[in-house]
Amino acid sequence: MSHDVIGILSDSHGDLAAFDAAYELLRAKGAQRFVFLGGRYTDLDEWILSRRERSRGGREYSGTDFLEDVERWLSVSDKKPRPRSLSVSREELEKEAADPLRVRENFLRTPERDSLQYRDPSIPRKVLDMVGDTLCCLVYDKNDLERDDLINASLFLHGRESEPKLVQIGPRFFLSPGRLAGAAEQTCALLERVDRDVRFSAWRLDGKAVLEPRVLPLERRTKMSVK
């Protein structure tokens, strides 16, 4: 049985405690890779730094720490990416979760319109990813989607929603995890592929389901269209 679990976070707006709580919740539910849709693009970097500081137990960053970080960074950079759908032992997952560089390797993210990164041509405003054989388009604001995006992808993950949403239009699905900050409930979401089935669910940070897991009846397509 092939199993791929993706954790989805959005709209943290500087609330690193909520970001951390969502990450730990989604990881406990089996997420091996993650999507951060924006809502403050740099929150991912600041959260990684906060995890690194916690791992040092409050000790000041030293030259030895720098050399160890460079060594880990080089080992991560030189290693070929492992397909995340393969089975991973609990020990390996714990090791990755404790190493900020490995954690960062497992994230995709997109910028929001009022960020500096949104205007940086080297940073894509939308990211394409595969969930099994389904093409998925990631974007912070769904209003940034263009005709080719809408034609080619079957799943659209987006932020900028006050609550989790699952909207079907024709054979395509628009999914949002809700907000980690600035909403009545702080929420995140899971996208799971079990064999050929894809399920979406959303969760409060206390672990209560907001949207129960639902199988998405996706249209199977094998070709992209570019016009």
Considering the chain, what percentage of its residues have pLDDT values greater than 70? 76
* Cβ atoms of 189 and 164 closer than 8 Å: yes
* Cβ atoms of 142 and 70 closer than 8 Å: no
Per-residue confidence band for 227, with pLDDT thresholds at 50, 70 and 90: very low
Residue identified by tokens 């989805």 is 8
Sheet with 3-9, strands from edge to edge, namely: 107-109, 33-36, 3-9, 187-194, 197-204, 209-215
Average pLDDT, the chain: 85
* DSSP element (H, E) containing 192: strand 187-194
Q: Is 12 helix (H, G, I), strand (E, B) or coil?
A: coil
Q: Where are the alpha helices (DSSP H) in 29-117?
A: 43-55, 63-78, 90-98, 100-105
**Domain map of the chain by residue range?**
3-42+108-215
* Cβ atoms of 18 and 12 closer than 8 Å: yes
Q: What is the pLDDT of residues 148-184, one digit of tens each?
A: 999 999 999 999 999 999 999 999 999 999 999 999 9
* Cβ atoms of 5 and 190 closer than 8 Å: yes
Q: What pLDDT does residue 67 have? A: 58
Per-residue confidence band for 52, with pLDDT thresholds at 50, 70 and 90: confident
Q: What is the pTM of this model?
A: 0.82
Strand partners, 187: 204
Q: What is the pLDDT of residues 103-113, one digit of tens each?
A: 888 999 999 99
Q: Is 48 helix (H, G, I), strand (E, B) or coil?
A: helix
CATH topology of domain 3-42+108-215: Purple Acid Phosphatase; chain A, domain 2 (3.60.21)
d(CA 82, CA 52): 23
If 0-12 CB within 10 Å is exposed, 13-18 middle and 19+ buried, where does residue 50 land? middle
